[in-house]
Amino acid sequence: MLNNHKRRPPEARSNEKGFTLIELGVVVFLIGLMLLIAVPRVRDTMLGGGLEAVTNHLADTTRELRSDAVRNQIDYIIHLDLDNNLIWTYSVDMTPEARGEMKKRAFKLPEKVQIMDIYFSEEEKITDGEATIRFSRKNYTQPAVIHLAEKDRRLTLVFEPFLNSVRTYDKYVDFQDQITGK
């Protein structure tokens, strides 16, 4: 009498609906995988891939190069090609062939974004050609200001010698203003 339940016929059991734990686990895994692939692309699309993408790339690259320069005890360079809107990096001990390979893998600025000019302390602004910013193994950076443009929008990036971050301004800030602290 311990078992009061009547056994259901096999036909009734086959009509029961539900999911096993394994099926639910597979579905959750697939949803997670799709999100892992889709979220970065959606984020980049939402941000427009414009000035924000270039700013993020330069800020991330700056942090990485400063860290690599100190860790590896070798200077690193960000190379900016204003005419072709390319940015690439290399270490000063690389061969010309290796530098050429790094240039082939350069970060291409989005179509509507351009590097307007670059200022270095005590130098004229560079509006065309190529320029480099050096990250020393002694943990300092060559001071520089980069002005970016996208349509009517302007952005200023300031590379300071002893700070590990890039200051950004959502407008065109003159290099002399940075020196005098205005």
Percentage of the chain surpassing pLDDT 90? 18
Residue pair 134/158 in contact by the 8 Å Cβ criterion? no
pLDDT of residue 179: 45
**What is the rounded average pLDDT of the residues 71-85?**
91
**What is the rounded average pLDDT of the residues 156-174?**
82
Residue pair 106/162 in contact by the 8 Å Cβ criterion? no
Alpha-carbon distances of 26 from 17, 23, 35, 37, rounded to whole Å: 18, 5, 14, 17
Question: Which amino acid is it at 141?
Answer: T
Cα-to-chain-centroid distance, residue 111: 17
**What is the tens place of the pLDDT at every residue in 104-133?**
989 888 888 888 889 887 677 888 899 998
Q: How confident is the model at residue 48 (pLDDT cuts 50, 70, 90)?
A: low
Its pTM stands at 0.67
Residue predicted with more confidence, 94 or 3: 94
Question: Which amino acid is it at 131?
Answer: A
Question: Which amino acid is it at 133?
Answer: I
- Rounded to whole angstroms, the Cα distance separating 41 from 51 reads 16
